[in-house]
Amino acid sequence: MKKFSKLSSVLALGAAVCVGSATAAEPLTVVSWGGAYTKSQRMAYSDPFTAKTGIKIVDEDKSGNGLAGLRAQTEAGNVTWDVLDILEGDAILACDEGIAQELDYEKDLNPGADGTPVMEDFIEGSLSGCYVPTIVYATLFSFNDKAFPGEKPKTIADVFDVKKFPGKRAFEKKPDANLEWALAADGVPYDEVYDVLGTPEGVERAFAKLDTIKDSIIWWDAGAQPPQLLADGEVAIASAYNGRIFNAQVVENQPFTIIWDGQVYELDGYIIPKGAPHKKAAMDYLRFATDTQRLADQTKYISYGPARKSSAPLVDSHAETGVKMAPHMPTTPVNFKTPIKKDAEFWADNGDELRQRFNAWLVQ
Amino acid sequence: MMANTVEAEGQLTPDEQKRLTSDMHRSLRRKKFRALFLVAPLLIFIMVTFVSPIATMLFRSIDNPQVSEYMPNTTAALADWDGDNNELPDEATYAALVEDLVVGRKNHTIGKAATRLNYEKSQMRSLLTGTARKAGRLKPPYKDQLIKINKGWGDIDNWRVIKRESKPYTASYYIAAFDMETTPEGEIKMLPENQRVYLKMLWRTVWMSVVITLLTLLLGYPVSYLLASLPMRVANTLMILVLLPFWTSLLVRTSSWIALLQGQGVINDILVWFGLVNDESRLSMIYNATGTVIAMTHILLPFMILPLYSVMKTIPPSYMRAARSLGATPFTAFVKVYLPQSVPGISAGAILVFILAIGYYITPALVGGQTGQFIGNMIAYHMQSSLNWGLAAALGVVLLALVLGIYALYSRLFGGNNQMTLR
């Protein structure tokens, strides 16, 4: 008897929960990169969105395998993500494969706060059909000041010069950006790296240059590793995402210096998966999160540049430390003198072969 | 009831005999059915979580629907073309291609065919998707216009790739998994030395797993011997020291090794402090093969100790005493009497550790650097990053075949032996 009453109360509770969730607005699943980055999105986009609409946001830290996850969900016919934060190259692939929602930009997004039409407000060429970029981030080199008491490295070529600037290097374990840098260090003008890398001789040249410092390289996989390696003194110079270095410099007071030369910048932003369970709410979120003010707000929490031109004048200071953000932005003119724009199309086309080549090179 | 009773001296009539056999069969069947019913949950569980994923993996490594499904007209048009005399396909094929591209762009399926072809040859992706964007505006004849849009359409090798991959099943994932390639002429040959990955990785995985297995045996044997020969109460306390790390999260144990072994880590600091190592030339014990071997040996050690211990526990200590009393030295007594009896434990522990090691990937990924990576890391890489699931499946099948082969060898060598020595 006791068992029965227990069972029935559990059933009743279950029924009550079901009824309850059916009436309230269902939460929206937003997939992103986790850590400080998801936190910045929560502060700037998600919490204000919940306050405005009453729709709760559930964060999932799965963007590291975003495209793989979306493909698997689509193949299984059970898409559970509503909004997916993804890099530009993967977004292009997702759009081509028909697993991302196509957007009508002028209709689906708000124009700039200063009245700039959508298509002119976002970074040129970035609105490629399904994709809405939110930030510009850079992969760049920085060093621990303690490692170089005298002369400091200033260029990509210096990073590859282990005689002049001794010490281990930390590189991300993929060919992206590393091959560009190898060519840049070998004297290829920054705006021609992809022309050279597109030829078999260029690929040989890039690997030959990487070979010269192969023994000094420690490879990292996760964005949190390079600041750690630098702080521990494991390496003297590390490639890293600029937001991570900013965090170490400003919040953790680490003596790191960024080399603002040849930083490879790319876009990160949102797509709506085709078959998203709450499409309408997801579209509302997309419109809200990518408007001028929200993109500017995000810079209070992390040092990535807003992808809208109209957001730039609204960039203010860091919420936690009060540091002015502009000097830390990868898009600020003084930092933006000699960047390399990551060619997402190039990597979508040649990535399979170059990654195979890179893996083979690592094994040797 | 009466008919079934068999009298000792009485003969059964053929009719009774028939009834008896059928009754026996029925009761046997019922028993079998009941047994099957009892194991059914397990059977279903194994089918769903084990057999069907492996079957799917086997299938995916040869499955090749993208081109034939999403470019049906081109596939049909290319059926009679072989490119033997270096001639491009005819106008009808180009027209079929345009039709496929227009439909594929509308349905967003061309990207899937493009991604598939890009695995075989770089630039194929943009050749298809780029042309698809413009294909809707074209009017016949198409051939020259397409070549003008992208000169890739005038390259006979691209057509050969499309033709080759338009079959519904492919061997190309296996070709890639064995570091080989198909030339445009259709020949299969090894990749140049500096582009080979998987065979090297596989070989490294095998020999490092052997090293790890030997190390766990070397470290685990004395520990198990100690545990087996101590009084129960002390042994149980010591057993906790073996089991505690066994119950601790794998990630925690791996991360602790990073803290211990890294250049600025505990061990190096101590060595420098004692002046055994120069501050500039600290040992690199992690982010290389050494790191993987040390961390994995530690993590897999309990899998060696537990089977060894359970076997050693059954060896009566009196055997050793008997050998000694008959004049054997301690060493001879150990080699001739104890060791042979512990062989089942050694072989069970070794195969357990070896098979676990060969499929490992979390620990190598964290502490392996570039020289301590396993084939499992390549499979994970193709599952999660490069998204070439066909190749990941083919590599998985190769690994599975290798493990099954080693297991077959093991059971031939030790399979019969086991029971004999246990008795």
**Which residues lie across from A265 on neighbouring strands?**
A138, A341
What is the distance between the alpha carbons of residues A198 and A124, in angstroms, rounded to a whole number? 23
Are A204 and A64 contained in the same domain? no
Poorest-pLDDT segment among A96-105, A310-319, B8-17: B8-17
Q: Name the residue with tokens 């898409």.
A: A79
The answer on pLDDT for A5 being more than 80 is: no
The answer on pLDDT for A151 being more than 50 is: yes
pLDDT tens for B231-287 read 989 999 999 988 888 888 888 999 899 999 988 889 999 999 998 888 877 888 888
The whole-angstrom distance between residue A210's C-alpha and the CA centroid of its chain comes to 25
- Assign A91 a pLDDT band (cuts: 50, 70, 90): very high
- Assign A235 a pLDDT band (cuts: 50, 70, 90): very high
Are B257 and B337 contained in the same domain? yes
Chosen for mutation from B129, B269, B280 (greatest number of chain A CBs closer than 10 Å) is B129
- Total domains, chain A: 2
**The one-letter amino acid at B252:** V
| CATH at B245 | 1.10.3720.10
Q: Is residue B288 part of a domain?
A: yes
**Which residues lie across from A135 on neighbouring strands?**
A268, A306
Chosen for mutation from B255, B279, B366, B387 (greatest number of chain A CBs closer than 10 Å) is B387
pLDDT tens for B276-303 read 888 877 888 888 899 999 999 999 999 9
What is the distance between the alpha carbons of residues B296 and B292, in angstroms, rounded to a whole number? 6
Q: How far is B195 from chain A (nearest CA, A)?
A: 5
Q: What percent of chain A has pLDDT over 90?
A: 63
Are B164 and B210 contained in the same domain? no
Are B160 and B282 contained in the same domain? no
Q: How far is A134 from chain B (nearest CA, A)?
A: 22
A129-133 average pLDDT score: 94
Interface touch A96/B114, C-beta < 8 Å: yes
Are B84 and B216 contained in the same domain? no
Q: Is residue B137 part of a domain?
A: yes
- Assign A101 a pLDDT band (cuts: 50, 70, 90): very high
The answer on pLDDT for B406 being more than 70 is: yes
Interface touch B126/A234, C-beta < 8 Å: no
Are B210 and B154 contained in the same domain? no
Q: Name the residue with tokens 């297995």.
A: B213
Q: Say how many Å lie between the first and final Cα of chain A, rounded.
A: 70
The answer on pLDDT for B181 being more than 60 is: yes
| Residue A10 pLDDT | 47
| Residue A58 pLDDT | 95
CB A244 within 8 A of CB A227: yes
| Residue B207 pLDDT | 95
Last residue of a domain, one of B147, B168, B189: B168
Contact residues, chain B, for A348 at CB < 8 Å = 125-126
| Residue B282 pLDDT | 82
| Residue B355 pLDDT | 93
Are A92 and A178 contained in the same domain? no
For residue A187, the enclosing domain spans 148-264
| Residue A350 pLDDT | 87
The long-range contacts involving A116-124, CB below 8 angstroms and separated by at least 24 positions, are A116/A309, A116/A310, A120/A309, A121/A292, A121/A308, A121/A309, A121/A310, A122/A307, A122/A308, A122/A309, A123/A267, A123/A307, A123/A309
* Model-wide pTM > 0.90: no
A25-39 average pLDDT score: 89
| Residue A307 pLDDT | 92
What is the distance between the alpha carbons of residues A99 and A130, in angstroms, rounded to a whole number? 10
Chosen for mutation from A73, A101, A146, A352 (greatest number of chain B CBs closer than 10 Å) is A352
Q: What percent of chain B has pLDDT over 70?
A: 96
| Residue B376 pLDDT | 94
The answer on pLDDT for B2 being more than 60 is: no
What is the distance between the alpha carbons of residues A57 and A300, in angstroms, rounded to a whole number? 20
Contact residues, chain A, for B125 at CB < 8 Å = 96, 348-349
Backbone angles phi, psi at A306, to 5 degrees: -65, 145
CB A232 within 8 A of CB B262: yes
For residue B153, the enclosing domain spans 66-168
Q: Name the residue facing A93 among B115, B201, B373 (closest C-beta).
A: B115
| Residue B49 pLDDT | 92
**Which residues lie across from A140 on neighbouring strands?**
A240
Interface touch B107/A68, C-beta < 8 Å: no
Q: Name the residue facing A362 among B129, B370, B388 (closest C-beta).
A: B370
Interface touch A98/B109, C-beta < 8 Å: yes
Helices and strands, number each (H, E), in chain B: 21, 2
The long-range contacts involving A49-57, CB below 8 angstroms and separated by at least 24 positions, are A49/A285, A49/A288, A49/A289, A52/A288, A53/A25, A53/A281, A53/A284, A54/A25, A55/A25, A55/A26, A55/A27, A55/A28, A55/A281, A55/A284, A55/A285, A56/A25, A56/A27, A56/A28, A57/A27, A57/A28, A57/A30, A57/A285
What is the distance between the alpha carbons of residues B71 and B77, in angstroms, rounded to a whole number? 10
The answer on pLDDT for A72 being more than 70 is: yes
Q: Is residue B279 part of a domain?
A: yes
What is the distance between the alpha carbons of residues B196 and B194, in angstroms, rounded to a whole number? 6
Q: Is residue A354 part of a domain?
A: no
User: How many CB atoms are located within 10 Å of the residue B352 CB?
Assistant: 17
Q: What percent of chain A has pLDDT over 70?
A: 93
Contact residues, chain A, for B272 at CB < 8 Å = none
- Total domains, chain B: 2
- Assign A14 a pLDDT band (cuts: 50, 70, 90): very low
DSSP for A131-164, written as a single string: -EEEEEEEEEEEEEGGG-SSS---SHHHHT-TTT
Q: Is residue A286 part of a domain?
A: yes
Q: Is residue A208 part of a domain?
A: yes
Q: Name the residue facing A352 among B118, B191, B201 (closest C-beta).
A: B118
**Which residues lie across from A144 on neighbouring strands?**
A256
The answer on pLDDT for B162 being more than 90 is: yes
Contact residues, chain B, for A174 at CB < 8 Å = 385
| Residue B270 pLDDT | 92
Residues composing chain B: 423
| Residue B278 pLDDT | 85
Interface touch B197/A352, C-beta < 8 Å: no
B187-207 average pLDDT score: 91
**Which residues lie across from A308 on neighbouring strands?**
A122
| CATH at A196 | 3.40.190.10
What is the distance between the alpha carbons of residues A265 and A269, in angstroms, rounded to a whole number? 13
B107-124 average pLDDT score: 89
Q: Name the residue with tokens 């086997």.
A: B58
Are B415 and B316 contained in the same domain? yes
| Residue A7 pLDDT | 47
Are A204 and A252 contained in the same domain? yes
Burial class (CB within 10 angstroms; exposed 0-12, middle 13-18, buried 19+) of B84: exposed
Interface touch B386/A349, C-beta < 8 Å: no
| Residue A225 pLDDT | 87
Are B209 and B321 contained in the same domain? yes
Helices and strands, number each (H, E), in chain A: 16, 10
Residues on chain B bordering chain A, Cβ-to-Cβ distance under 8 angstroms: 107-112, 114-115, 118-119, 122-123, 125-126, 129, 191, 194-197, 200-201, 204, 262-264, 287, 365, 369-370, 373, 378, 381, 383-388
Interface touch B195/A357, C-beta < 8 Å: yes
Are A72 and A221 contained in the same domain? no
| Residue B108 pLDDT | 82
Q: What is the mean pLDDT of chain A?
A: 88
